[in-house]
Chains A and B, each alone.
Chain A
C-alpha cells in the first residue's frame, strides 16, 4: 500500500461537479474526478485517452477539510463575435470559487509502482496542474509526503494543516470524505464524480459513493474544547 498526501491551498480553488452553461458552481471540497484530471494532466495524458484516464478511478481517494474556506461569486463575461468583428452576444457566466481554503487529499493504491509513477508525474508534470480551473495553480508546497499507510489512516494521522488564525476560530474535529468502500457503516452519498471522459466532444462522469468520517486532530496547542492553551493578547491584536 502506498498513499500520497497532497495539500491544496491558495487564494482560490473551484471544484465543480454539476456545473453547466452560464453558472459554474463549486462544491465545498475537491472532487475525485478533478484530482484524476490533475494526475492525468501531470502524466501528460491527452483529453481523448479515455482508457488511461479511467484506470485512475481505481485509486483510493479521500479528502480532509482542514480549512473550510468561503464561497466567492465572480462576475465574468464572455463575448461571441460575428465574422465581421461585431459582437454577436455577451454571455454572463458567473463563476463560483472557494477562497482561503485548505484541503488534504490522499490518493493510494495496493500497486506501489502505480502510485510511484503518479508521484513522479506530480513532481515533474507535463501539463500544468491546477485546482479546478486553469487560473488557480497549485502552491509550491502541495506535496506533503508519501506513506505506506492506507488512505483513511493517513488522513487520520496527519497533523492539522490550517493557518494559525483559523485554528483559533474552529474546533479540531475535522470532516473527511472518502471512497465509500474504504469504510463500513458510515453515512454514504452518491456524487457524480467518476471520470469517464475528459474529451472536448463528450465529457462524461458516472457516480461514485462517498462516506463521511470525522477525525479528531491531536494538536498539542489546543485543549479538549479546541481552544488555544496559550493566551497571547498581542497576537489577537494582529501585532
Chain B
C-alpha cells in the first residue's frame, strides 16, 4: 500500500428518549456548547468503553481473536488442525508448553488472567509448537509483534511501561445533539410500604437529571495503519466489520435501568475514502429547530453535508447507508442497504478488492 491511504468513516444519527447515559461528578448529563447553544454530549471515552465491551463479547464469533482464560484449549485446537495425528491430550500439553516457553503463565491448562490472543498469533504459536520451536525470543515476538485487535484499534496506555503503549488506529468523536437541549430535573419520592396509615411523608425523595437528544455520532479508522499493526488482510476486514457493528449496536449503560434508553441508530453512513477522514459535525453548527421531532431533519442535514463537503474533499470511493427514512428521497450516491447484515456483506466484498494482501514498504 505505497502511499495508498484508506480511511473508513462512519456516521450515525441516533435518538435517545429521556436518559442520562454519560454524566459528570454531580450527576448532570454531559453537555457542550456548539453554534452558540447548549448540546447534549456523550464523551468519546464513554462510547468507546461500550464498543470495547461489544468487541470482547463478539470477537470470537467474528474470528478476530478471543479474550479468554482458555488459551491452551484455543491453541490446542489449532495444533490439531495442523497435525490431525495428534491426540487431544498431546495437543493440550504441546500448547501449554509453547505458551510457557513464551513466558505466559498457566495453571491447570488455563491462563492466570484473561488473555487476548489474535487469530494470527494463535495460528503462529500453534505452527511453532508443531515445528518444535523453542527459541524464547522468537515465541515472545509472536505475542508482542501484533497487538490484539482492540488494542490496535483503540490504543493502549501503560503508565508504568511506555514501551507497551500503542497508538490507536481509530478515532471516535464526542457525540453531540443536533439541536439545543435543556437538562431537566425529575423529582421523585419513594413511599415506605409499611409506614403507619396516618403518616403523610415519603420514605425518601430526590432528583434525577436527564435530557433527551438526537445525537450525531462519528468515528473513523485509518485502515492502512490497522493493516500495518495487524499485518493480516482477513483479520483487518473482520475487525472493521466488527467495528461497524460495535459502533452501531453498542450503547453506554449509564442509568439504563432508570430510563431503558435502548435505542439503535436511525441512520448510518459508512464511507471509504482515499484522501482523508471527514467529520460532518459542521452540518449541525446551526442547530436543528423543529416542532416535529429532530430525527428526520437531522438525517436530511447529514446527507446534505455529505454533498456539500465535496467542495473541499474528494468524493468517497464507496458509500453505504442504512436509514429508516425513505432512501430514495435522499440525494446521495451510494448503496442504500436493506439492513446491517447486507451492509457488512457488501463492505466485505468492496474492502477485499481495496485492501492489499500485505503491507507495502
Contact B313 A135 (CB under 8 A): no
In the complex, 18 of the A-B residue pairs with CB atoms within 8 angstroms, ordered by the A residue number, are A10-B282, A11-B33, A11-B281, A83-B112, A100-B33, A124-B276, A126-B224, A128-B220, A128-B277, A134-B155, A134-B168, A137-B171, A140-B282, A140-B305, A141-B311, A163-B36, A165-B36, A200-B163
Shortest CB distance A113–B (Å): 18
Shortest CB distance A129–B (Å): 8
Shortest CB distance B68–A (Å): 13
Shortest CB distance B355–A (Å): 16
Binding site for B on A (CB under 8 A): 9-12, 47, 70, 72, 74-76, 83-85, 92, 97, 99-100, 123-128, 130, 134-141, 143, 163, 165-166, 200-201, 238
Contact residues in B for A83 (Cβ distance below 8 Å) = 112-113
Beyond A10-B282, A126-B222, A163-B285, 10 additional pairs, beta carbon < 8 A: A9-B282, A9-B285, A11-B281, A47-B167, A83-B113, A84-B113, A92-B25, A137-B277, A138-B279, A165-B36
Contact B36 A166 (CB under 8 A): yes
Give the bracket for the number of chain B residues in contact with chain A: 35 or more
Distance of A136 Cα from B281 Cα, bound (Å): 11
Contact B312 A85 (CB under 8 A): no
Most buried by B among A11, A92, A123, A166: A11
B351 within 8 A of A: no
Query: Between A and B, how many residue pairs show CB distances below 8 Å?
Result: 113
> Which of B39-47, B84-92, B328-336 touches A?
B39-47
Contact residues in A for B220 (Cβ distance below 8 Å) = 128, 137
Shortest CB distance B310–A (Å): 9
Most buried by B among A137, A165, A201: A137
Interface string of B26-48 (1 = CB under 8 A from A): 00001011111001010111000
Shortest CB distance A139–B (Å): 5
Contact B275 A126 (CB under 8 A): no
Shortest CB distance B87–A (Å): 32
Interface string of B253-294 (1 = CB under 8 A from A): 000000000000000000000111111111001000100000
Distance of A12 Cα from B220 Cα, bound (Å): 17
